[in-house]
Amino acid sequence: MEAVQGFAALLLGSLGVPIPEEISIIVAAFLTAGNSRVPFWKSIAADAGAATLGVPVVFGLAYFFTDQIEAVVADVHRVERWLVLAGLLVLGVVLVVGVWRWKRRVGKERLDEERTEGHSLRPWEPPR
């Protein structure tokens, strides 16, 4: 079973666009495959298959969108602004919920302290 998972990790790790920043991902995929005892020929076959699929797709996208690069970049910047706005909104919600839960917990702790004040509890003694 480990060999199958290693093979899948190798295949998925190799499907990326071959740019220098991604070399570490490919190295991690090969190390995972090696640690999972995937045979060498399967590693090479998975890498070749991923390259056969990934490289033409990326070059095809580059070819078809070259004349529209300015519009694509403008859309990317527009989407980035929405993503930043959504991220700030999520951060605000997380902070509000966190503060609300913290205040609720502190309030319960104070109530527990008030309830125990004035009551003297006997210290625990082991049974005889």
- Tell me the per-residue pLDDT of 58-98, one tens digit each, with 9 for 90 and over: 888 888 888 888 887 788 888 888 999 999 999 999 999 99
Contact 24/14 with Cβ under 8 angstroms?
no
pLDDT of residue 114: 63
CA quadruple 24, 28, 31, 33: dihedral, nearest 10 = -130
Interatomic CA distance for residues 117 and 55, integer angstroms = 72
Residue 13 clears pLDDT 80, i.e. is over it: no
pLDDT of residue 8: 59
Query: Domain coordinates of the chain in residue numbers?
Result: 1-66, 68-116
CA quadruple 48, 50, 72, 92: dihedral, nearest 10 = -140
Q: What are phi and psi of 126, to 5 degrees?
A: -70, 150
